[in-house]
Structure 1
Amino acid sequence: MNGPEKHSLTLHGHRTSVTLEPEFWKAFREIADEDGKAINLLAAEIDAERGDANLASAIRVYVLRRFRPA
């Protein structure tokens, strides 16, 4: 397992950096591709729903929920 990687995203016209482990970046991109969405759009949707959680944590939880069986 590699250490976290920082990537820039554009949310609502503003640049921000998010730090995730490579495995989460890969899974996040797979979800975006599966949904036919740009990664920035998916991140913006998660951002709009995240409440008080930081964006990196909200993305990790989103990925986990998508890959866990119901």
Structure 2
Amino acid sequence: MEKLITRKEAAEILGISIATLDAARNNGLISYVQYVQNGCVYFTSAGLQEYIAKCTHRAKPAEKNATYRRPRRAGV
């Protein structure tokens, strides 16, 4: 059986607050284990990895014209 991770440990692993973790859990973004209704909530390392994968975004290539300034005209 996989080791269950407490809310505090999961928040520390993810680098987020417990409130943010609870919000993600309530919004269905992260899976959790709860044996009894209104009981303790636990997470698995696989559930944390899935959450990290959902929150990971690919880097976008930089645009060539990343400035708002217009290019200078020659001779002006």
Measured against the shorter chain, the TM-score band is 0.3 to 0.5
Q: TM-score, normalised by structure 2?
A: 0.35
| More helix by percentage | 1
* Higher radius of gyration, 1 or 2: 2
